[in-house]
Structure 1
Amino acid sequence: MDVVEDIPEVRKAVALARRRDLAVGFVPTMGALHAGHRSLIDAARRECGYVVVSIFVNPTQFAPHEDLARYPRPKHQDLALCREAGADLVFYPAVETMYPPGAATYVHVDGLSAIWEGAVRPTHFRGVTTVVMKLLHIVQPDAAYFGQKDYQQQVIIRQMVRDLDVPVEIRTGPTIRDADGLALSSRNAYLSPAERQSGLCLWQALQRGAAALNSGERSPTKLASLMQQHIRQTPGVELDYAVVVDPWTLRELQDPQPEMVALVAARVGSTRLIDNAIWRLES
């Protein structure tokens, strides 16, 4: 496995892989890698001949009051995971490499970036789409892999690559959970044992909604209300939203449809957690 820090080195390595007629799979990450990231690298390894992983804590997706400074950066552990998973190349750039002095261009997806996570974190998705667009331009993969846990993010990225005619296939891997149901996240490291227990309420709320759906409740509004009620009654948890939305527009649903997505977000202590579930009605 090669580890490179400069853009020309990435392009050279990918060009050599293409000369060998290898499909290129790409997994962009911010590091602090866990089993969820590993599952995406595994998928890329199964489906592509050459696998690139990027590790870059992207400052433009953090607001000034957020956790950029304390975001975990366990470089040696991250590289070990990439090596064990069979990555061919890790791109580990400095901030100055991705954003040289004088950089003034951003990529923004209207509409989708302004709701749910975008309403709580107004500049977040502009930073995400900018850095992902730059990374796609640098790596030029055939397929890029994202996790379902950040459901809104992968919808926005799909919209971006469609609108800008980027020749890449976006592939979404399932959310990976701990045994108790908590969705894996690099920010889980911030949680105390008591906070971690409280944080389970997000997954529990999604399960309650799914159980009601399976029992015959079809109203998205009532299903959302059940989830909201469960999260609100959990001590130490502040609800941001719990909604049932269209899978592509992310607009809140008033009427049931064959496929719906439940999105939940809450603050547990000082840590924000998000989760989701895809619900399908039996025909």
Structure 2
Amino acid sequence: MPEQITLNDGTAIPQLGLGVWQVDHDITAQVVGWAIQAGYRLIDTAEGYRNEEGVGEAIRAAGVPAAELFITSKLRNGAHQRDAALRAFDDTMKKLGVEQLDLFLIHWPVPSQDKYVEAWKTLVELQQAGRIKSIGVSNFNRDHLERIIGETGVTPVVNQIELHPRFQQRDLREFHARHDIHTESWSPLGSGRLLSDPTISGIARKHGKSTAQTMIRWHLQQGLIVIPKSVRQDRIAANFDVFDFELDAQDLETIAGMDSADGRNGPNPVTAAFLF
């Protein structure tokens, strides 16, 4: 089973979970149900994914006490103003069907609209009201983090960022470590592009594991929170079967050498301006 990572507010989060980005809302409940059955307890969704209702349906049908689950959602980019953020959060809670959310993140900073500080202050308000256990951000760069911390005195518990062997974000991770912000990896398998990578495939063969399992194990051994996604029941289960082997020092050195400054697959937080 995954380790529990203690966040800077004292809350514990499972280190390995399921992400549901790009999971069609019609199958989300089934996919999340498979994950819970396989042992996952961390489920990561977002307002912008348009599948929170499916996550809520799976939670109700899971047969697992709500206290054992850890549910994350994220504030959409077009709702950074306080009143809009409060309405959006109410909508999230209605769709998920929970009374208190475990973790709520600002999905993107969208610096071009310059409202992410207002959004952060609203999340702080919601946490102080007892509606959210923990608050964090996603896709924030160092300057974005420094600004919200400087203007509110409240440090995010996590920053969820694109992170995989080809894009390891070491400088940002070092900043996180200095400020007790945990790094959470989205697109941990390189958006699927690394599943046929010969370097990782070679390490996987050495351990009798798949390339996906090998990459997930790498994230875990780096101390990262990781949320791989799949819509196939066999792969969801396989992605959770990563606790019976360890990468050795040579493996880790080899993967460290794969890092690339231009390895980003997703949008750049500096320029991302979509308002889904």
**TM-score with structure 2 setting the length:** 0.30
More strand by percentage:
1
The higher-RCO structure (CA 8 Å, 6+ apart) is 2
TM-score (norm 1): 0.30
